[in-house]
Amino acid sequence: MENCIFCKIINNEINSIKVYEDVNFIAIEDITPINKGHTLIIPKKHSENILEMDSETSSELTKIIKKIGKSIIKGLGAKGFNTIINTGKEAGQEVFHTHIHIIPRFENDKIEFPKGKETTKEELILTAEKIIKNLD
């Protein structure tokens, strides 16, 4: 895509700090990291978000997440990591090229994610029914 910043990074038109590259993916350091080692995994084949990604690429993605995640834990001494995929503007997606955030977690790093909202069993059932009804 012509104006896609990640496509430009993939094509070496914009510099990045790469930590991994193969035929189908690159992984780069996030320039505004939530924590030390915050890495973005980016498929080389452009898709706007994970819902638009082809099946072959999405099945490969789990292998790359595991590879990068294990390397972050071993190399940085992280105790774990969060995997975040923002899909859509309302979900916080800013770059509309599929990418996965791997955020290393360290003991007492004080990073907090929002807590869940309380709900009733009836609301959960109604929500589940709507989801089930629309499964393809």
> Which residues form the catalytic set?
99
User: Strand 80-84 and strand 100-105: pairing?
Assistant: antiparallel
Residues near 30 by Cβ (< 8 Å), separated by ≥ 6? 38, 39, 40, 101
Which letter does DSSP use for residue 3 in this model? T
